[in-house]
């Protein structure tokens, strides 16, 4: 992995964090596995993770951003090996807790390390492309809050500037419901922030989500 290099976008230190679960059968994509089986779900998760990391690597390199792989489901040494394989600049563990807590933890880590802007994405996005992700990173040079809406009422990306109130924005959000984006925008309004909304993408979580991707 590269270390000790300056990452910047528009003069701002920038981290792109990919939240990824190790694609072990029975331990990932459980809602999808309920319909297509654990082995098939794990293969899809593996393909999605590779697609996400390849896209993120290309965009991060162009933006001068540090690419961080935040891993769930592996210990530190195995996570480092996986990060090397996927081309991450560095690796962190997600740690325990629900999604909101793990997102807050990654934001805190990034800002404590000196990042001035941070974007977080997951690995459930077959429609992720360089254009959309690149637009998000470019926007963080002048926007305090960037959100990528998802079709299920959540968001596929959250990006924050250094002075954004990251914990109040994410605290108390009912993750896994259709109101995640709505309530995050309400929390942002309470903090005097107006988010920049990107183009909408679809997560791949359930068997029905496969339909658009089957030829």
4's tokens? 């000790």
Closest CA to 205 of 48, 31, 38: 31
Contact residues for 198 (Cβ-Cβ < 8 A; gap 6+): 132, 135, 136, 139, 146, 147, 148, 149, 157
The answer to the question of residue 129 being in a domain is yes
Pick the more confident residue, 67 or 125: 67
pLDDT digits (tens, 9 = 90+) for 150-172: 988 999 999 998 566 555 688 88
Helices (H), 37-170: 38-63, 76-86, 99-112, 130-139, 166-170
3 found inside a domain: no
Neighbours of 30 (CB within 10 A): 11
**Residue at 2 is within a domain:** no
Other CB atoms within 10 Å distance of the CB of residue 163: 9
Q: CA-to-CA distance for 119 and 133, rounded, in angstroms?
A: 9
Cβ-defined contacts of 29-33 (< 8 Å, 24+): 29/205, 31/205, 31/206, 32/204, 32/205, 32/206, 32/207, 32/209, 32/210
User: Could you tell me if residue 175 is inside a domain?
Assistant: yes
Residue 6 lies in a domain: no
| Residue 213 maps to a domain | no
Mean pLDDT of 48-59: 95
> Would you state the pLDDT for residue 67?
97
Q: Read off the pLDDT of residues 96-154 as tens digits, 9 standing for 90 and up.
A: 999 889 999 999 999 999 899 999 999 988 889 999 999 999 999 889 999 999 988 99
* Domain region containing 169: 14-207
Q: What is the pLDDT of residue 61?
A: 94
Residue 166: what pLDDT? 58
Tell me how many domains the chain contains: 1
* Residue 7 covered by a domain: no
Q: Are 13 and 6 in contact (CB under 8 A)?
A: yes
Nearest CA among 14, 10, 17 for reference residue 162: 14
Residue 193: both structure tokens together: 């922030």
Which two three-digit tokens encode residue 44? 């899809």
* pLDDT greater at residue 37 or residue 166: 37
For 96, phi then psi, to 5°, come to -80, 170
Residues in the chain: 215
Q: Report residue 39 as tokens.
A: 């082995």
Spatial separation of the C-alpha atoms in residues 191 and 176, rounded to whole Å: 23
Assigned domain for 9 exists: no
Answer whether 0.85 is exceeded by the pTM.
yes
CATH number, position 39: 3.90.550.10
């Amino acid at each position: 992995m590269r270390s000790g290099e300056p990452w910047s976008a528009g003069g701002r230190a920038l981290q792109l964090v990919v939240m990824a679960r190790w694609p072990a059968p029975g331990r990932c994509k459980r809602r999808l596995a309920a319909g297509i089986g654990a082995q098939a779900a794990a293969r899809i998760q593996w393909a999605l993770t590779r697609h996400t990391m390849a896209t993120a690597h290309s965009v991060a390199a162009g933006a001068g951003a540090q690419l961080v792989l935040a891993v769930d489901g592996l210990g530190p040494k195995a996570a480092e090996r996986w990060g090397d394989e996927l081309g991450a600049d560095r690796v962190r563990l997600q740690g325990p807790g629900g999604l909101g807590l793990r997102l807050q933890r990654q934001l805190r880590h990034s800002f404590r390390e000196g990042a001035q802007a941070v974007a977080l994405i997951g690995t459930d996005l077959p429609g992720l492309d360089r254009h959309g992700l690149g637009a998000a990173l470019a926007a963080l040079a002048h926007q305090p809050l960037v959100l990528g809406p998802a079709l299920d009422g959540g968001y596929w990306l959250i990006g924050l500037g250094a002075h954004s109130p990251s914990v109040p924005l994410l605290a108390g959000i009912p993750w896994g419901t259709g109101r995640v984006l709505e309530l995050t925008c309400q929390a942002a309004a309470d903090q005097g922030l107006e988010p920049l909304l990107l183009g909408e993408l679809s997560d791949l979580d359930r068997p029905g989500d496969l339909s658009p991707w089957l030829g």
